[in-house]
Structure 1
C-alpha cells in the first residue's frame, strides 16, 4: 500500500500540479487502462488526447490538490479545478491499481456555486 501512495502522489504532482498529462500517464498508467468517464474511450492514448488541451493547453488553468486518499488498490484525489472562462469545479478522481499501475478511473465533478449556505463550501 505504501508503494501505491508514493507512486500516486508523484502521479498527482505530474498530472494536476505540473499539468504534464502524457508524462503522468507514462509514469503510472497501464496499457489496459479502463475509463469510466462516458466521454472518453478506454486506453491511455485516448485519455491523453482528451485531457492534454484541458491541462497542458491552458496556461492559466489551475488544478489545486485538496487531499489525496489511498486505501490498498484504490486512490482518490480531490481537486479544485479553475480554468479561464469556466466556473470553478470540485473534482474527485478515483483510480484503481493493479500490479503497481493505474488500471481504472472514475470521476465526479461538481460546479462550485456562486452562493453557498455557509462559508466553507466544497473545499
Structure 2
C-alpha cells in the first residue's frame, strides 16, 4: 500500500524537519532533485529550499514548530504546524507535499497568522 510507505517516510521527514529543525538532513532523506516549489518566494530544487528555510529552522533556536496533525493519502501528504518565534505572532501552517517513486517531488504551503481576537471560540489547532 503506497500510503503506508509514504506515511512512515513522511513521519520521519516531519520529525527531522519540524521537530529537530535539521532542514538539510530532512531534504537529503526524502526530497527529490526534481523538487517543484509552489511557494512564490523560493525557487525550484532542494538547494534553494534549504537555503531559504535553514535560517528559519536550523539557525533559530528559539523558534518552535509544533506538529498538530499529519495526513497522508496515496501520493499526497500534509502537515499542520503551529509555528512560534519570539517577537512574532504565532502562525498556522499547512504544508502539502506530493510523492513520486517514494520521494517528495512537489510542495505547496499555506500560512495564516494566529489572530489576537477571533470571531469565535474555535481554536486554530
TM range (shorter): over 0.9
Instruction: Find 2:89's aligned residue among 76, 87, 90.
Output: 87
Instruction: Find 1:71's aligned residue among 66, 70, 73.
Output: 73
- Structure 2 counterparts to residues 90-105 of structure 1, below 5 A: 90-105=92-107
Deviation at 1:39, TM superposition (A): 0.2
Provide the residue aligned with 1:25 in structure 2.
27
Q: Distance in 2 between matches of 1:60 and 1:53?
A: 12
Residues 1:60 and 2:62 are matched in the alignment: yes
Alignment gaps of 5+ in structure 2:
none
Give the SS at the match of 1:49: helix
Q: Distance in 2 between matches of 1:26 and 1:92?
A: 21
Provide the residue aligned with 1:113 in structure 2.
115
Q: Distance in 2 between matches of 1:16 and 1:76?
A: 13
- Structure 1 runs of 4+ with >2 Å offset: 117-121
Q: TM-score, normalised by structure 1?
A: 0.98
Deviation at 1:93, TM superposition (A): 0.1
Q: Distance in 2 between matches of 1:42 and 1:66?
A: 27
Deviation at 1:30, TM superposition (A): 0.1
Provide the residue aligned with 2:11 in structure 1.
9
Alignment gaps of 5+ in structure 1:
none
Q: Distance in 2 between matches of 1:24 and 1:85?
A: 27
Deviation at 1:86, TM superposition (A): 1.2
